[in-house]
Amino acid sequence: MTTPAHDALELIGLRAGYGSIEVLHGVSLRVPPATVVALLGPNGAGKSTLLKVASGTITPKDGCLHVGGVHVNGADAAALARAGICRIPEGRGIFPNLTVAENLRMWTGVGDLKPAEVAERTYGRFPRLGERRKQVAGTLSGGEQQMLAMSRALLVDPAVLLLDEISMGLAPLIVAELYELVGSLAQQGIAILLVEQFAQTALAVADHAVILSHGRVTRTGTPAEVEEHLSAAYLGGAA
Amino acid sequence: MTTFLALSLTGLVVGCIYALTACGLVVTYTTSGVFNFAHGAIGMVAAFTYWQLSVAWGWPAPLAFLTVLLVLAPLLGAVVERVLVRPLYGAPIGVTLVATLGLLVTLLGVGFLAWPPDTTRVLPKFFEGHTITVFSLVIDYNQLLVIVTSIAVAVGLRVFFSGTRLGIAMRAVVDDPELAALAGTKPERVSQLSWALGAGLAALAGVLLAPLQTLNVTDLTLLVINGYAAAMAGRLRNLPATVAGALVIGISSSLVLGYAGPQVVNYVRPAIPMILLFVAVLFLKQERLRAGSLAGLRMPRTAGLRQSVGVGLGFVVVAGLVSGQLSPASLAIGGQGMVLAFIMLSLVLLSGYGGQVSLCQLTFAGLGAYAMGKSGGGALGLLAAIALPAAAGALVALTVVRLRGLFLALATLAFAQAMDQIFFNHALGYGGTLEIPRPRLPLVDTGDDRAYFVLLAVVFALGAIGLLTLRRRAFGRRLIALNDSPAASATMGVSPVMTRLLVFTLASAVAGLGGALLGGLHGSVSPNDFLLLNSCVLLLLATLGGLYTPTGAFLAAMSYAFFPELQKLVPELGQVQFLLTGLGVLALGRNRYGIGGQIADAGERLRSLRVHQVDRVEVARAAG
Ligand SMILES: Nc1ncnc2c1ncn2[C@@H]1O[C@H](COP(=O)(O)OP(=O)(O)OP(=O)(O)O)[C@@H](O)[C@H]1O
Ligand SMILES: [Mg+2]
């Protein structure tokens, strides 16, 4: 694999938080294209916060946020979405009161796809969504909702995909299906930053892993290297 | 048959206008999550602006029509979103509710100022003089325009909201603005567009309605209430059901007007939409709608018994001293402020502590005055002035006890408006004005204005002390727990139903007694004293005062009562009272504790300052 000129996503000494509470105390992290980076760490470490900063939902207080080598501190979420950042939030990243088809219509705000192509890409991958296109999304099963949320990644061709605990509360079979999709998206060249509670699941698909605890990066390396330190990080993090 | 058709046609036209209003309400609600009480007021301002452009300044009607509809009204909507709605994002629903009520009153103030009610303004009908005849039924072009426009708007909205990306985005933004942003949509811009659209629809309804009657600021503003029932029929969500509801209301009202005897017409017809609204609010399933309350704000510290009795005594003494210096006119105004403050105590209890929004407190006050007047005064009269409103309050509470936030507000609004129309406005009620005697006391001559003023001060002080005592007791804590978290307090063994019932009844009794005393102050009352709009202003004033403290209630009431005096000094101010109240509420966007909260805070700061000083002295002593 050749090293491209720029990382798809780069965080340098990033500080951010909520109001006066700082959650991230200077975090640096790189995600090259076509790479899956697993972001692990105990509850409350700041993983979700990091993804929110990277997607423009929270503005960093200090440090640099680079997307494709361009400095984008202060850009809002909608602008970053247009710049190729796609974050699937924790919980269900869908609009519960819209139908499946209307949700998909919302996803194409960035890409401007034809309806036929939208149908092909999503329903081709997740036929169950195709059967339920007129159903209100809030009444879908948890797995179907997560498929619908993930279908945004299929439709917008993002440069960077930020995934926050997509396996939460789902059956192993569906998790496997979703991770298969993650793998194939990475192969298409998308840079993926993956937050996951179940370290094993994430490390299995990751090229690279980072442990975050108390708002600081405490370890980076290959999945094998990081796995060794994992329990220490979680226990240490809890202390 | 021809009569039937003609009546149906009139009803259809009115129903179409209700449908337009109701659709506007639904649009704003589904696209921003805010029920806009000022919807009718926007329509009113638009209608007057249209009159100004087309009649007063002689613009061609189509140009004026399009300017108002496509430029001015959307602009107003966008500004309102930016200035009023956006800062309140994430605030409890009760707060946004009061904010749009504030906007309603502000726009009323603007209306009164810009178009003083002393001249009659009439808008010509559109296409005056042109008619077509269908099956011996004469339809004029104006009616045709209304019907065609309504159909076009209803169909257009439906296509827009389910078929276009912007329309879908407007609905999506209410669901989850953060996710909408992640999907590349700017939530603020979409919200702003939806407010512009809502205001445009309000303006359309206002401009179409205006030629059917003489232009009147309050009538145009309140006519929208008839659309509320239709909007509720669509559960604030479903446009076809909303339109159907509006047509039923319009046509049934018109048929009743045409066929029923004058008795029924006078008593019942104006109240039909209100009764339907009440029923709709009560019986439609609401699980997916967001309710809410005025809850979730930090409470100021509650004064202890000794402190409140001390302050109360001081208050009465000061009132006694001041009363000696006041002119008879000022005594009357001060007395009015005092009674208003007392009635507001019922809102501190109900809304401040209990988090329930009521728009019918003055209705209970009116019932109190009515009981006092009809019973001829005396101890029995006072008792009746408390018992009748309390009984009515308990009855209302029994029916609305499940409701919270917006739904409670709408139900109380319907009750107030219906009582206005059926009871107060007719022989059943006052029949013009009703003489109200003052309560008689041993040793004190209440006929003397100064003595009566001091008596009012005593009553207010007692009420405030009682309220604060209640607040400190188990009942007060239960009430506040219920307000913070109904579910949690249910598990604590608090019966929410019983608590709500009690507090509503108690608040009605307080308002009733206040109404009787108010009547006694002026010697008589008229239906105009207890209008729905005045109840709204009362709630806004109480909110301005902070809703949590008797002090705030007192200050807000007094400044409101004395404002007309200021006006006499500066006559150019005109009807500025409404405007200022409204603006004051709008300013609450950032400071939600009001005047009373500020004062309580200042007191707190002083106290902690003193404590620190004592500490320092002691430290110094220890060191030395
Ligand atoms: N909206 C918010 N306002 C204030 N503080 C917040 C907010 N969201 C998160 N926090 C705080 O920020 C810290 C980090 O939270 P974050 O959600 O980023 O953790 P996380 O690593 O994703 O945890 P988990 O694994 O449980 O999802 C926590 O202490 C949390 O309490
Ligand atoms: Mg998280």
Binning pLDDT at 50, 70 and 90, where does residue A56 land?
very high
Query: CA triplet B42, B43, B47: central angle to 5 degrees?
Result: 120
Inform me whether the pLDDT recorded for B291 exceeds 50.
no
Binning pLDDT at 50, 70 and 90, where does residue B323 land?
confident
Which residue, judged by its Cα, is nearest atom 30 of ligand 1? A44
Q: pLDDT value at position B464?
A: 92
More confident residue, B320 or B266: B320
Locate the chain A residue with the closest alpha carbon to B161. A102
Q: pLDDT value at position B296?
A: 41
Q: Which atom of ligand 1 is nearest to the CA of A90?
A: 27
Inform me whether the pLDDT recorded for B420 exceeds 70.
yes
- Closest residue to A77, CB basis, from B162, B175, B182: B182
Q: pLDDT value at position B289?
A: 42
User: pLDDT tens, A112-150?
Assistant: 678 788 888 899 889 999 999 999 999 999 999 999 999
Locate the chain B residue with the closest alpha carbon to A161. B182
Inform me whether the pLDDT recorded for A1 exceeds 50.
no
CA of A196 to the centre of ligand 1 (A): 14
Rounded alpha-carbon distances, angstroms, from residue A207 to A37, A48, A88, B11, B22: 6, 20, 20, 71, 56
Using a CB–CB cutoff of 8 Å, tell me whether B171 touches chain A.
yes
- Closest residue to B182, CB basis, from A89, A102, A108: A89
Most confident by average pLDDT, B213-227, B360-374, B596-610: B360-374
Q: Are B530 and B370 in contact (CB under 8 A)?
A: no
Which residue, judged by its Cα, is nearest atom 31 of ligand 1? A44
What integer is the mean pLDDT of A206-223? 91
More confident residue, B123 or B195: B195
Using a CB–CB cutoff of 8 Å, tell me whether A57 touches chain B.
yes
Are B181 and A81 an interchain contact pair (Cβ–Cβ within 8 Å)?
yes
Could you give the dihedral angle defined by the CA atoms of residues B345, B348, B350 and B355, in that order, rounded to the nearest 10 degrees? 170
> How much is the pTM?
0.82
- Closest residue to A82, CB basis, from B176, B179, B184: B184
Binning pLDDT at 50, 70 and 90, where does residue A185 land?
very high
Q: Which ligand is nearest to the CA of A27?
A: 1
In DSSP terms, which residues pair with A210 in a beta bridge? A39, A220
Q: Are A8 and A31 in contact (CB under 8 A)?
A: yes
Sign of dihedral through CA atoms A212, A213, A219, A221? Answer: negative
Q: What's the whole-number average pLDDT of chain B? A: 81
Inform me whether the pLDDT recorded for B293 exceeds 50.
no
As given in the structure block, the two tokens for residue B315 are 């208050």
Rounded Cα gap, residues B108 and B333, in angstroms: 23
User: pLDDT tens, A7-34?
Assistant: 889 999 999 999 889 999 999 999 999 9
Least confident of A111-125, B53-67, B451-465: A111-125
Which residue, judged by its Cα, is nearest atom 18 of ligand 1? A46
DSSP strand E in B26-157: where? 131-134, 137-140
Using a CB–CB cutoff of 8 Å, tell me whether B183 touches chain A.
yes
**Residues of chain A positioned with their CB less than 8 A from the CB of B174:** 97
Rounded alpha-carbon distances, angstroms, from residue A125 to A122, A140, A158, B35: 5, 17, 17, 40
Q: pLDDT value at position B57?
A: 92
- Closest residue to A97, CB basis, from B175, B182, B187: B175
Rounded Cα gap, residues A27 and A51, in angstroms: 12
CA of A50 to the centre of ligand 1 (A): 10
Q: Which atom of ligand 1 is nearest to the CA of A45?
A: 21
Query: Could you give the 3-state DSSP secondary structure of residue B475?
Result: helix
**Residues of chain A positioned with their CB less than 8 A from the CB of B188:** none
Q: Is the CB of A45 under 6 A from ligand 1?
A: yes
Q: What's the whole-number average pLDDT of chain A? A: 88
CA of A70 to the centre of ligand 2 (A): 27
Rounded Cα gap, residues A78 and A110, in angstroms: 9
More confident residue, B131 or A79: A79
Using a CB–CB cutoff of 8 Å, tell me whether B289 touches chain A.
no
Binning pLDDT at 50, 70 and 90, where does residue B590 land?
very low
**Residues of chain A positioned with their CB less than 8 A from the CB of B181:** 56-57, 76-78, 81
Using a CB–CB cutoff of 8 Å, tell me whether B163 touches chain A.
no
Inform me whether the pLDDT recorded for B237 exceeds 90.
no
CA distance A122 to chain B (A): 16
What integer is the mean pLDDT of B598-609? 57
Q: pLDDT value at position B294?
A: 45
Binning pLDDT at 50, 70 and 90, where does residue B60 land?
very high
Q: Is the CB of A23 under 6 A from ligand 1?
A: yes
**Residues of chain A positioned with their CB less than 8 A from the CB of B176:** 95-96
Rounded Cα gap, residues B333 and A124, in angstroms: 76
DSSP B603-619: HHHHHHHHHHHHHHHHH
Rounded alpha-carbon distances, angstroms, from residue B184 to A112, A156, B197: 11, 10, 21
User: pLDDT tens, B141-183?
Assistant: 888 899 999 999 999 999 999 888 899 999 898 888 899 999 9
Q: pLDDT value at position B114?
A: 86
CA distance B77 to chain A (A): 23
User: pLDDT tens, B474-523?
Assistant: 777 777 777 666 666 666 666 777 888 899 999 999 999 999 999 888 88
Q: Which of residues 83-102 of A touch B (CB under 8 A)?
A: 86-87, 89, 93-98, 102
Inform me whether the pLDDT recorded for B225 exceeds 70.
yes
């004592």: which residue's tokens?
B614
Inform me whether the pLDDT recorded for B388 exceeds 70.
yes
Using a CB–CB cutoff of 8 Å, tell me whether B165 touches chain A.
yes
B375: nearest Cα among B385, B361, B360, B366? B385
Q: pLDDT value at position B339?
A: 92
Are B181 and A77 an interchain contact pair (Cβ–Cβ within 8 Å)?
yes
Inform me whether the pLDDT recorded for A237 exceeds 50.
no
Substitution site in A15, A22, A23 for ligand 1 pocket (most atoms within 8 Å of beta carbon)? A23
Q: pLDDT value at position B205?
A: 93
Q: pLDDT value at position A101?
A: 92
The structural domains of chain B, with segments of one domain joined by +, span: 2-282, 330-592
Q: Which ligand is nearest to the CA of A47?
A: 1
Using a CB–CB cutoff of 8 Å, tell me whether B181 touches chain A.
yes
Cβ–Cβ contacts within 10 Å for residue B571, how many?
Answer: 7
Determine the CATH number of domain B2-282: 1.10.3470
Are B186 and A86 an interchain contact pair (Cβ–Cβ within 8 Å)?
no
